[in-house]
Structures are given as structure tokens and as C-alpha cells.
Structure 1
Amino acid sequence: MESPSALAHRGSIPWQGLLLAASLLTLWSLPTTAQLTIESVPPSAAEGKDVLLRVHNLPGFLGGYVWFKGQSVDSDLQIASYVIDAQEIHPGPAYSQRATIYPNGSLLLKKATLKDTGNYTLLAIKGNFQGEIVTGQLRVYQPVGKPALRASSATVAEQKDAVVLTCLTNDTGISIRWLFKNQILPHTDRMKLSRDNSTLTIDPVRREDAGAYQCEVFNPVSSRKSDPFRLDVYYG
């Protein structure tokens, strides 16, 4: 079997040649070049927003690019190929009309969906049909919804009662933090949080615990706060 470099020819690389190179390079399993990188812009994409997979440190004398959805150069996972001289995009089996390849190799995904989350592989093919491969990752998040705060009691007695506050949310893959008087809640030895931070227990309560509480849910692309809940503490 001839190596990919043996297929070199003079002139621009046609689309068929690009696909042939991609097929042969699959069999040759070329190693990933350390200098070639893919950057997601923004680093975490929000569902429904555009995201760019930007390519850095491309080698010179390129004939074209081929993008794949996944961690390998697999023809069944090919998104599209781009011939630089002809400035032509040729769709593959995994192509979506939301995808655009730019002359610098970067891949734009318009109105990203949760299904776009995953690995993406770029095959950069040189004029002599030698190639470099790099894989990057894209993560798409759904904006969080507004949480609700539920309390075991709204009125408690100092040093006698405990109160349990629960943050209710339908979102998954999120983090939770607690606010007191619109500030991050300072933790004391009387406070206990559940493992996922969704439940806050204060036992026993003191007069300085009286005031407005909120829980906030967040992920890398969004955050929402619950309506304030006021805790009244009786003492004397």
C-alpha cells in the first residue's frame, strides 16, 4: 500500500483527492500534533447560541480541511471537507446546515444544541497529502430555570428550634449556593449542607439568623436566584 505522501501531485487539490487522502490517513492513524490545537469560543456554549471551534497553529502549505464529529477520522462521522484553493465546502454524512468551515480551518456551529456536545476532530491536509490530526471538545449547556425555596418553618424560636431550607430545581448538572441578605451565606458550625448543597439546615437558630434567604443555581453559561424567603426568629 502506498503512503499518503506518495499520492502528491502538482496543482491544487481536488475535492475527490481530499476525500481519498482522508480515507488513507484513517488507515495510517497519524499521531496528533502537539502544536495544533482547537479552542471553543466561548469556552462553554449556551444552547441556542453560536459557537466557534477555532484552530490554532496550522501547518503551512495546506490543501484543505476535513472535520469529523467524534474522536477519530471516520468517514461515517465526517461533517464536511473544505478545499482551500476552490473555497468549496463539501458536506459529509454528519453535516448540518448549521455548520460552516472558514478558510482558516475553524468550524462555526450556529444555534448550538445539547446534541452538539462531544468531541470534534480536524484533519488538516497538506499539499503533498500528508496530514495532521487534532481533537477538541465542545460542551453545550442549557440555561438554568428559576429555582424555588421551601422552608420547614417561617417563624422559629432562638436556641430552641431548627429550620430546614430546600432549594427546588428541575435542572441537572448544576451547582447550588446559598445567599443571606443578598450576600454569600457565611457558614457556621450550626449550619449543615447536603452533599449537593440543595438543603441547608440551621440547628439551633439564633437571632442573627433572621433575614432573607435565597438559593442560586448556576452552570457555566447562566445562573438564576429564587425569590427571597424571610426567616423570623423570636427571642427574649
Structure 2
Amino acid sequence: MEQRTCRASIVVLLTLLQGFLSCDAVEIQPSMNPAVVGSTVTLSLTPSVSLTSGNWAVDETFILTWLGEQQAVFPGYSGRASVNVTSGALMLRALTVSDSGLYQVQSGHPLLKASVFLTVVEPISNVTLRVNRSDLIEHQASGLISCSVSIGSSLSFRWMNGSSEVTAADRVQFTDGNSSLNIVRVSRYDSGPFRCEAFNPISNGTSDSVNFTVSYGPDNMRLTVNGLNATVFSAGSNLSMLCLAESNPPAQLQWGFRGNLVNATGTMLELFHVIPDQSGPYSCLAFNSRTNMYSNVTTHITISRSERLQANVFLLPLLLLAGFALSLSGHCGYFSL
């Protein structure tokens, strides 16, 4: 008698184990995942099974239960949820973002339990940028750009500067799930154009571009004369001195000679028919009224006597000597008479 009871218990145990094992083999297959807001999704069991009863729940919240041909839908899902009483497949309509979660089906005939995580996302539209301030001074201010969408969920963000992707660095910081870009102590190379790309598993969108106005300089000044690096010129030459400075807004330029300001402004100083007395240091002084910064560059110009004048100076003693010799020869002839 005891042996029969033991055998019966083993048979029941094996049956239960087979039921649990079959449970592990069954999976839930959504008709789409992620699913789109407003659409309908069907959660089917694979491989297909025949269920006479069971229930569906999401994150511990019951959706519906069924027994034979009868099914009962819980509040919050009335009119949206239904089950195929034969296969146990759940159909959920008019999806919302809040329908995302872990869906679970359980049945006692046969013994079954399976789950799947369903994501419901909203398509992205109207990606926009907001800038805290657009007029910045180099190395003195930080630029903050925020990216937002009017519609969309499960968002990820990517930032572009022109055709290059912006990545985190010492001066580049991302906050609020990468939806905000902060550039610390902006440089002249941080002007943009910046744009934001927002995307989720079903859609994407790109904002219009924005630029920072970064004021900088004046610095990296250069001074050339007649387009050359030469500093020695002949008397009588015409000189065009060009002064350049990296500056935004453009720097105000003032010229100086031998430490004194001259009545000349702008990028060009022109001198005509120069003489040796115009040799000396020429300076270009730059001022940026936005950054309140000054800079200058100086070059020393030497004006040499012209070659014609030097030749005349060299020939003059020879001519005088020749004249004196002729004069002597004349006197000698006179006395010979």
C-alpha cells in the first residue's frame, strides 16, 4: 500500500515538474516592441498553447482574467483589453506611454507563467533649442544650450557642432540626460553652429542650428610693409604698412611713430617719397571695446639714401679733382708762353 502511494506521489510530482518545465519553454511575443502610442499590440504565446483559464497583469496590476469562455476586464482597461480565450493572447488597444511595463501571463491549466517587457513610445516632433545667452566674451563666460521636444518619449540626445559630433571634455559638459550642453569658458572656436538631434526607438528629429557670438582679441597681430617682411627701403620709396589683428568685433587701430601717436587710423598707413629722417619704429595699436583689451605690434623701418644720391656723392670728389687738374693744365700752358 505504501509503495502504491509513493508511486502515485512521484507521478504527481513528475506531472508538476513537467508543467513547470513547459512553462519555461513558453515565451510572450509582442506584435511590435517598442510599440507606438495610439496603436494596438497583441501579446501572443510561442510556441502556441491551449489555455482554458488564466490572467494577465502589468507591473503587479491586473488587466483581465478568464475562465473558459468568460473573461473579466479590470478597471482602467475596460474597452481596451481583451483575451483570446483559447490561445491566451492579449490584445491591448489605444496604447499610451504609461502602458510600458513588465507584462505577465499566468495559467493553471496547464501550469504556465511567462513575462515580457513592453515599451510604448511617442513619436518625436518639434525639436527646439534655447540658449541662456548668445553674446559671450572669450574665456570669461559659459554657454548653455537646452534641447527639448514638444512631443516624444524615451528620448536620447546627440549634439553636433557643424558636421562634427560634440563629445564630453574638460570644458564640455552634458546634463539632464544629455538634453543640455554647457561649454565652460567659451573660446572663439565654440561659436557653432550647434544643433540637437533627439531620437527614440521609433523616430527622430533635428533642431534648427544656433550660434554663439564670442568676442575675443585683439591678439596675433601682424605688420607688413609693401606686403614684405623687409624693413629696409630706399629713400624716395612709397610705403604701405598693413596691420592685421584677430579680433571680434574688429579692433580699432591707431598708428604710432617713435612712441608718439600719428594722425592715422585703420588697417593701412601709407608714406610717399620717404626720406631717411622717417626711419624709426612704427607701431600699430589695437583696442577691442567689447573685451576692453589692448594689443600692439612694432617694426623698425630703415630708410637708406637712394642709389642715385649715393652715386652722385661718390662722383662729386672725382669731378672736383678733374676740374682742378684741368685748371692746372691751363695755367701751365699760360706760363709756357
TM-score interval for Structure 1 and Structure 2 normalised by the shorter chain: 0.5 to 0.7
Equivalent residue letter for 1:116: D
Instruction: Give the superposition deviation at 1:48.
Output: 0.5
Equivalent residue for 1:9?
none
Equivalent position to 2:155, from 156, 166, 174: 174
Greater RCO, CA 8 A, separation 6+: 1
Equivalent residue for 1:50?
40
1:93 and 2:73 are equivalent in the alignment: yes
Aligned-pair RMSD on alpha carbons? Answer: 3.6
Contact 1:50 1:108 in 2 (8 A): yes
DSSP-derived class of the 1:166 partner: strand
1:226 and 2:226 are equivalent in the alignment: no
DSSP-derived class of the 1:53 partner: strand
1:150 and 2:140 are equivalent in the alignment: no
Equivalent residue letter for 1:162: S
CA distance in 1, matches of 2:209, 2:90: 43
Equivalent residue letter for 2:104: T
CA deviation vs aligned residue, 1:92-117 (integer Å, no higher than 9, x gap):
13364433545654323232123433
1:133-144 to 2 correspondences below 5 Å: 133-144=113-124
Structure 2 length as normaliser, TM-score?
0.47
DSSP-derived class of the 2:52 partner: strand
Instruction: Report the CA distance shift for 1:93/1:151 in structure 2 as closer, same or farther (over 3 A).
Output: closer
DSSP-derived class of the 1:34 partner: helix
Instruction: Give the superposition deviation at 1:122.
Output: 2.5
Instruction: Give the superposition deviation at 1:90.
Output: 3.5
Greater strand share, 1 or 2?
2
CA deviation vs aligned residue, 1:147-185 (integer Å, no higher than 9, x gap):
432223324344454322223457775333322225532
CA distance in 1, matches of 2:143, 2:63: 56
Instruction: Give the superposition deviation at 1:131.
Output: 2.6
Contact 1:69 1:121 in 2 (8 A): yes
CA distance in 1, matches of 2:170, 2:51: 64
Equivalent position to 2:64, from 79, 83, 86: 79
In the alignment, structure 2 segments of 5+ residues that lack a partner are 1-11, 13-18, 217-245, 247-337
1:108 and 2:114 are equivalent in the alignment: no
Equivalent residue for 1:20?
none
CA distance in 2, matches of 1:106, 1:91: 13
Structure 1 length as normaliser, TM-score?
0.63
DSSP-derived class of the 2:91 partner: strand
CA distance in 2, matches of 1:121, 1:65: 14
Max Rg structure: 2
CA distance in 2, matches of 1:118, 1:151: 35
Q: Percent identity?
A: 24
Equivalent residue for 1:38?
28
Equivalent position to 1:197, from 172, 175, 178: 178
CA distance in 2, matches of 1:114, 1:174: 12
Equivalent residue letter for 1:99: A
Instruction: Give the superposition deviation at 1:144.
Output: 4.1
Instruction: Report the CA distance shift for 1:147/1:57 in structure 2 as closer, same or farther (over 3 A).
Output: same
1:165 and 2:145 are equivalent in the alignment: yes
Instruction: Report the CA distance shift for 1:184/1:111 in structure 2 as closer, same or farther (over 3 A).
Output: farther
CA deviation vs aligned residue, 1:107-148 (integer Å, no higher than 9, x gap):
2323212343334333456xxx43322233323233345343
Greater helix share, 1 or 2?
2
